[in-house]
Amino acid sequence: MSAVASAPVAEPILEGRNLVKRFGGGGFLARRPAVHALNDVSLKVQRGEVFAVVGESGCGKSTLGRVLLDLISPTSGEVRFEGRSISGAKGADALKLRRELQIVFQDPFASINPRMSAGEVVGEPIWLHGLRPASERRERVAELFRTVGLRPAMMDRFPHEFSGGQRQRIGIARALACEPTLLLGDEPVSALDVSIQAQIVNLLEELKERLGLTLVVVAHDLAVIRHMSDRVAVMYLGEIVEEAPTEPLFDQPLHPYTMALMEAIPQPSPLLKRERHLLEGDVPNPVQPPSGCKFHTRCPHAKPRCSAERPALETADASGRRVACHFWREIQAAGTSASLPLPPANERLDRRLALYRQWQAQKPAAEIPA
């Protein structure tokens, strides 16, 4: 008999099942070969957690985010929110989903009419979803401004009058206006100065706690991911190659791609540099992805089996960690730079590492009233 007790498994708030997304290659775009943006991606986001998706540019992070929020349809596969499929949702159900699943973009004003005032930007969803009587809307917008650390007096200003950090606060306020259950940040801080990034990250964390939100964060910045998230999915060319709780993932990455990503973070000692296997070459063309394991063309550990057979995303330990590599056990057994003991951190700490500490120490992060 198994010694492992079967603990009740909570139902995920959001689940992607075998998601595939191809762009082009069909309909009137049939002449163009299809871009394989997502290839059989399955994941579960638990209520109240911060789930991060990380990977190099073009690996499909944003596409996954959009498919999960039903902003674009998957070519095949299914997304479920609170146990129900969202693809078939119609009418009032679809509207409710639109409200409950909100996205914060890198530049929240990119797709918004620049002639709308900040107050109108934040208030529009309240009106669209009929969330407050007209007489209460202005006060609700003022409350949302305060919630994200902005003075309500700024409501009548226009987007160009705000700094990058303030614009992002307005984007967050607009998302909160919908009274969401889940917030997806698509590179929510990558356009901001490093010092402002920390404030926005702290604001998101604070809001998550205060409002009981679930956060999904799509980002390429590992410092942000490490600071914010409870679990991380690492994507490569449209597939999840590793998924794990944050600390084990950073302490002991199992997939060679995750190792390479981690090793690309500047280390506090030159000792580690000798062991690095930095990523060489570009991500292959997603129109014609490599056979088998898609990472085999850049993997320092690749063997013939890797180009012939796609590795399954298998469970690696009791924490539910998953990894898609034929040889992850052998690679771990052989030892990697990631398993070397860290020398005492002293000299020349990278700005990012310093920032990471600063983030840990600094809370909360409200905008200072001007």
Ligand X SMILES: Nc1ncnc2c1ncn2[C@@H]1O[C@H](COP(=O)(O)OP(=O)(O)OP(=O)(O)O)[C@@H](O)[C@H]1O
Rule CB under 6 A: which residues touch ligand X?
23-24, 35, 37, 55, 57-63, 220, 286
Q: Closer to ligand X by CB, 37 or 201: give it.
A: 37
Q: Closer to ligand X by CB, 207 or 240: give it.
A: 240
Burial class (CB in 10 A: 0-12, 13-18, 19+), 2: exposed
H-helix or E-strand containing 54? strand 50-54
Closest distance between ligand X and the C-beta of residue 210, in Å?
Answer: 29
- CA separation for the pair 300, 30 (Å, rounded): 36
**Residue 20 corresponds to which amino acid?**
V
Closest distance between ligand X and the C-beta of residue 286, in Å?
Answer: 4
CA-based nearest residue to 77, from 40, 46, 45, 35: 40
Closest distance between ligand X and the C-beta of residue 58, in Å?
Answer: 4
DSSP class per residue in 60-91 = SHHHHHHHHTTSS--SEEEEEETTEESTT--H
Closest distance between ligand X and the C-beta of residue 57, in Å?
Answer: 3
CA-based nearest residue to 190, from 286, 59, 284, 54: 54
In contact, 300 and 318? CB cutoff 8 Å: no
**Residue 365 corresponds to which amino acid?**
A
Q: Which long-range contacts (CB under 8 A, 24 or more apart) does 153-162 make?
A: 154/118, 155/117, 155/118, 155/119, 155/122, 156/117, 156/118, 156/119, 157/117, 157/118, 158/114, 158/115, 158/116, 158/117, 158/118, 159/109, 159/112, 159/114, 159/116, 159/118, 159/121, 160/114, 162/118
Q: What angle do CA 221, 193, 347 make, to 5 degrees?
A: 70
What are 290's two structure tokens? 């490599």
Q: Closer to ligand X by CB, 150 or 235: give it.
A: 235
Q: Closer to ligand X by CB, 60 or 180: give it.
A: 60
Closest distance between ligand X and the C-beta of residue 229, in Å?
Answer: 16
Closest distance between ligand X and the C-beta of residue 88, in Å?
Answer: 23
Q: Closer to ligand X by CB, 187 or 367: give it.
A: 187
The side-by-side arrangement of strands in the sheet containing 231-236 is: 101-104, 182-186, 214-219, 50-54, 231-236, 239-245, 322-323, 314-315
Q: Closer to ligand X by CB, 62 or 168: give it.
A: 62
Q: Closer to ligand X by CB, 236 or 328: give it.
A: 236
Q: Closer to ligand X by CB, 58 or 268: give it.
A: 58
Closest distance between ligand X and the C-beta of residue 349, in Å?
Answer: 27
Closest distance between ligand X and the C-beta of residue 62, in Å?
Answer: 3
Instruction: Please state the φ and ψ torsions of residue 76, each to the nearest 5 degrees.
Output: -155, 170
Closest distance between ligand X and the C-beta of residue 103, in Å?
Answer: 13
What are 366's two structure tokens? 């409200």
Q: Closer to ligand X by CB, 57 or 135: give it.
A: 57
